[in-house]
Structure 1
Amino acid sequence: MEHLRAACALALMLTFGCIRVMCTNSTYKTMLNVDLLNGYDPVVHPGKQYQSQVLNINVSFALRKIQIFNELTSEFSITGALSVYWDDERLSWDPTRYSNLIITHLKQKSIWTPPLLLSNGYDDIDLIGKGDMHIMITSSGMVSWLLPVKLTITCDADVRYYPFDKQSCLVILLPWGYNADLVQINAMASTLNTAQYEENPIWSLVSTFQASSVAPAAVGLLFSITFKRKPEFFVMNFLLPTMLMCFMNMFVFLLPAESGERVGFCITVLLSIAVFLSIVSSALPQTSSPQMAMFCYLLVVHVILSLLIMICTIVGLRFYFRSEEVEVPRRIARLAQFVNNIRKTNQNRTSVSPGSQSNITVKAKTDSDDVQLNEEKRDVTDTDVSWKEVSAALDKTCFVVFMATAMTCNISFIIVLMRS
């Protein structure tokens, strides 16, 4: 029984002792805060000699995430933590007078804070921070202002190499109402702190830059964020289908003319490319500065090729279904024979295999052979060419020419994008 009473007494002593220590600390901290704010004017900025001493404000920014970048409205929004440090001699104290307290906290509205303003803000212009936010102060007078912020600025997009474009946005923080003779903003590092950065599903962070403004009339902090687009979605859903449709359009010349589907095939592909052009145009800013997207130029080239292919298809069908009673002009006949003979010559070359065991007889050339050869050439030249053969020659020529043009345009576009 006596042991139980002793244990209870000891527990009560420890409890009251802890409460007394806590009360003592909270009491001293209350006294400290009251003494610090006694006669303190939050409008007056720190400094003992304004004429010969400049208030140094050290600033750093920890980037958390790229929230949004809208190319149409030029809206760029990021979240992070802004750290601001400066010395205020009016907020220093002797720790021995306040139970060795070396740290205290005051509300932002109770003391002077640099009126940081987002110079190129997208929304309404307002100062950063809230009045009820707590600020940590050490006994030496060092003020630590740590505040989470969401910065929304105006940043014009450069979509020249869309969807492989790279963007760079500049954030400008200014101490509104103060010039270089009163305060100096110092960047604590040359780059932003990205230790806790979270990846954006559309944009990938490339690099960051942070520096102080050296202009006498515009003292402040500048930091730049460079990021590039993740192109996989746009390549699979826009770029690759348009290129495939462009090459697919060439095979209209391989369709039989009797099928009656040539013109319908051309119109379908042309409308598909036009739909992709409208979709891409709606997703890009409606401006030509600094330059329009090269992808739009590629789509325009595809549209022009489709129009030319449709015109050539219609002309070829007119040749094919023209009456044989109409004589083919000699120049057109010679061109058709030239194209068809090239194909026949290539087929004859490929038909002879290197391992063939055919017997070759060498025969001396005579004058009668030359006369016979000239007569055969004259017969071939004077042979009548049908309109169907002219249509076939036109199809072969258009297929080769348009295929080479499409390959040149698309490969050049890809090379330019990859070099960017």
Structure 2
Amino acid sequence: MRILMVTLCLWITTVTSQTNENTQTLINAIFTNYSSKVRPVINQEQPLPLDVSFYLSSINDVDEVKEKLVTTGYLSLTWTDELLRWTPADYNDTVIIFIPQNDIWKPDLVLKNGFKKFEELGGTFYYLSVFHDGTVIWLPFNVFESRCSMDITYFPFDTQTCDIKFVTWSHYVEQIDIQKSSDGIQFYEYEQNSVWDLIDTSSGIQKEQRESQVKFTLKLRRKPLYYVMNIILPVVFLGYLNILVFVIPVDAGEKMSFSVTVFLSFAVFLTIISTLLPTSSENTPIIAKYLIIQLIYGVIALIISAFQLRLHHRNEAEEIPTFWIKVVQLQRKLRCKRTRKVDALETNLNEKVAKTEENGPDVVVGWNHVASSIDFFAFWTFMITNILITVVVFSVSAAS
């Protein structure tokens, strides 16, 4: 359309030579008894077809908290004004004139799902193109702030679908019939957004309760690299670092301090990344739930470490329950190690001797062995469950 207009204007400039008197005479002739308050159709019982296209320049902002989409672009509105027609030959082959926006009739099109109050499109400095057959082209440029319901469950691998709806506020569909242009959504010097990719666009006409409205749909996909590098990887690494507390021997004396340090590091990191996570009371991101799980893991690791220290420093003379003896035996079987006899006199420890059918000979079991078995089972339990949860969480998020 724009290329056709430019070509037509160049052709007019080179072939004909209209003067200001020609244009002034034309304007005086067609605007005699013309009123911008009257819908420009001869038969007022007939609807006025209105062709609407949207030219997108940029996606300025996507606010998940306010559920707001901010875009820049302009509308291309085309209709036929039956009261503004003339014969070009009568006016030195003048086929097009430019009229200020407020001097002729124009549709009262407004952004239906906007954040701000209803405002008139365009401005007093806008000129409309009027052709000799009555075709009028209006190109109002604006920054559109529209509401958009957002689902951040799969953040930062989420995809959002936002609608930009325009409606004729005062006229019914019987008076102005909005028609979707074949162009739909086009791009005008489009600039890529640093956070969102525009993966699909569509447009459609909706006629509800005698309203005539056009809907332009943008499908956006978040670019996850920044969040992967600054949120996901540090959280995953801290989660596995927390498991290493079960590798440190109880005798080293650093078990609790290491566990507390990792837990505090995790808590501090959570306060930092909370500003990067979108907040919503309706749907919580899966990554936020994953952070809570890692925090719970840290609390459980602290409890287990404290319990281990308590068992490790128990009096060796205290009787070891059968349950703990079976735990130690199972740990030794899993580690494929054979127990060896230990002479109580040589070690000067009152260790309990447990006889089992599986091991046959006497097996020496002490509280230090119980603590070591707890480390063994806790390490592998935490490791396996953490791997499974991590794979499931991010596979589901990425697959969305």
The 1:96/1:274 distance shift into structure 2, 3 A limit, reads: same
Q: Which residues in structure 2 correspond to 1:19-418 (within 5 Å)?
A: 25-51=19-45, 53-189=46-182, 191-194=184-187, 196-289=189-282, 291-345=283-337, 377=359, 379-380=361-362, 383-418=363-398
Hey, which of these two has a bigger chunk of helix by percent?
1
Which stretch shows the higher mean deviation, 407-416 or 271-280? 271-280
Alpha-carbon shift at residue 374 of structure 1 (Å): 9.1
2:394 and 2:90 map into 1 onto residues whose CA distance is 73
Contact persistence 1:190–1:211 (CA under 8 A): no
Contact persistence 2:204–2:214 (CA under 8 A): yes
Three-state SS of the structure 1 residue aligned to 2:185 is coil
Alpha-carbon shift at residue 407 of structure 1 (Å): 0.8
The 1:414/1:263 distance shift into structure 2, 3 A limit, reads: same
Hey, which of these two has a bigger chunk of strand by percent?
2
Contact persistence 1:174–1:219 (CA under 8 A): yes
2:323 and 2:269 map into 1 onto residues whose CA distance is 41
The 1:258/1:162 distance shift into structure 2, 3 A limit, reads: same
Alpha-carbon shift at residue 379 of structure 1 (Å): 4.0
In our comparison, the structure showing a higher alpha carbon Rg is 1
Alpha-carbon shift at residue 306 of structure 1 (Å): 1.1
Three-state SS of the structure 2 residue aligned to 1:189 is strand
2:152 and 2:356 map into 1 onto residues whose CA distance is 64
1:186 and 1:233 map into 2 onto residues whose CA distance is 41
Three-state SS of the structure 1 residue aligned to 2:138 is strand
Aligned amino acid, residue 221 of structure 2: K
Contact persistence 1:180–1:216 (CA under 8 A): no
Aligned amino acid, residue 153 of structure 2: R
Aligned amino acid, residue 66 of structure 2: T
1:275 and 1:162 map into 2 onto residues whose CA distance is 21
The 1:140/1:378 distance shift into structure 2, 3 A limit, reads: closer
Please report the RMSD computed on the Cα atoms of aligned residues, expressed in angstroms.
2.3
- Identity of counterpart residues, as a percentage? 28
Three-state SS of the structure 2 residue aligned to 1:197 is strand
Alpha-carbon shift at residue 149 of structure 1 (Å): 1.9
Alignment length, in residue pairs?
371
Unaligned runs of 5+ in 2: 1-12, 340-354
Three-state SS of the structure 1 residue aligned to 2:365 is coil
Contact persistence 1:47–1:89 (CA under 8 A): yes
1:44 and 1:249 map into 2 onto residues whose CA distance is 74
Aligned amino acid, residue 80 of structure 2: D
The 1:404/1:210 distance shift into structure 2, 3 A limit, reads: same
1:111 and 1:71 map into 2 onto residues whose CA distance is 40
TM-score by length of 1: 0.83
Alpha-carbon shift at residue 209 of structure 1 (Å): 1.0
Three-state SS of the structure 2 residue aligned to 1:89 is coil
Three-state SS of the structure 1 residue aligned to 2:44 is coil
1:186 and 1:80 map into 2 onto residues whose CA distance is 19
2:131 and 2:333 map into 1 onto residues whose CA distance is 95
1:416 and 1:385 map into 2 onto residues whose CA distance is 45
Give a deviation string over 1:76-99, Cα, whole Å, max 9, x none: 111112100111111111212211
Alpha-carbon shift at residue 37 of structure 1 (Å): 2.4
Contact persistence 1:280–1:296 (CA under 8 A): no
Alpha-carbon shift at residue 287 of structure 1 (Å): 2.8
Three-state SS of the structure 1 residue aligned to 2:152 is coil
Contact persistence 1:37–1:110 (CA under 8 A): no
Alpha-carbon shift at residue 297 of structure 1 (Å): 0.9
Three-state SS of the structure 2 residue aligned to 1:220 is strand
Alpha-carbon shift at residue 131 of structure 1 (Å): 2.4
Contact persistence 2:196–2:220 (CA under 8 A): yes
Aligned amino acid, residue 318 of structure 1: R
Which stretch shows the higher mean deviation, 261-270 or 62-71? 261-270
Alpha-carbon shift at residue 375 of structure 1 (Å): 9.6
Three-state SS of the structure 2 residue aligned to 1:159 is coil
2:365 and 2:209 map into 1 onto residues whose CA distance is 85
Aligned amino acid, residue 85 of structure 1: T
Aligned amino acid, residue 316 of structure 2: E
Contact persistence 1:109–1:132 (CA under 8 A): no
Alpha-carbon shift at residue 292 of structure 1 (Å): 1.4
Three-state SS of the structure 2 residue aligned to 1:410 is helix
2:269 and 2:180 map into 1 onto residues whose CA distance is 46
Which stretch shows the higher mean deviation, 302-311 or 31-40? 31-40
The 1:185/1:386 distance shift into structure 2, 3 A limit, reads: same
Alpha-carbon shift at residue 418 of structure 1 (Å): 2.4
The 1:377/1:227 distance shift into structure 2, 3 A limit, reads: closer
Contact persistence 1:66–1:79 (CA under 8 A): yes
Alpha-carbon shift at residue 272 of structure 1 (Å): 3.0
